[in-house]
Amino acid sequence: MEFSHAKRIDWQISDAEVDYPTAVATMESRVAAIHAGRADELVWLIEHPPLYTAGTSAKTEDLLTPDRFPVYQTGRGGQYTYHGPGQRVVYVMLDLSRRGADIRRYIRQLEEWLIRTLAHFGVDGGRREGRVGIWVDRGGGREDKIAAIGVRVRHWVTYHGIALNVDPDLSHFDGIVPCGIRGHGVTSLWALGSTPTMAEVDIALRTEFDTVFGAEERQ
């Protein structure tokens, strides 16, 4: 499935699961092409088979069951993250040199994008000081993470991106300390009682992407 975009941002949805090495190779090729002016920016929506990724700050002790799923070292920021079916992974390849060249602002935009998307399904997600990703207050001092953010930038072109828990098997997160954060849990839209299809989530993501990023002036 593919969406067009008036501002020359390609939107692509992979219906089959994409293995992690293939995804990384595809991103790196597209980033190089964007930097060279040979390709448009891209927002790529996929699901992975079950796997763990280790960001540049990952600690060995946070990989609790190393033989459970494949583990991939990755150049994105952050620590250990789980990806798997039922989780919408969005790899975002934008040319920040045409968008203000401000990485902190870009990460705030990714956060805002997720918060606005979750609001479509009645979920109040938010930022937390000192904790990466988007969080949900479960009451009684408990907070659960519902979306992860991990970014890499090469020649001012972004890649990697976000992962939103729609309806993954949450027990799969037990093999890691997600993002190195102890004392908090992980949740999903379905676990919170909201049961959208992946297609409905994709529509919300597209709508709110245009809200957050679409109004920018392009040089």
Catalytic residues: 179
Could you give the CA distance from residue 34 to residue 6 in angstroms, rounded to a whole number? 17
Q: Measured between alpha carbons, how far is 192 from 123 in angstroms, rounded to an integer?
A: 8
Alpha-carbon distance of 112 to 187, in angstroms, equals 19
DSSP labels, 12-68? EE-SS---HHHHHHHHHHHHHHHHTTSS-EEEEEE-PPSEEEE-TT--GGGBS-TTS
Q: Is the Cα dihedral 131, 53, 101, 14 positive or negative?
A: negative
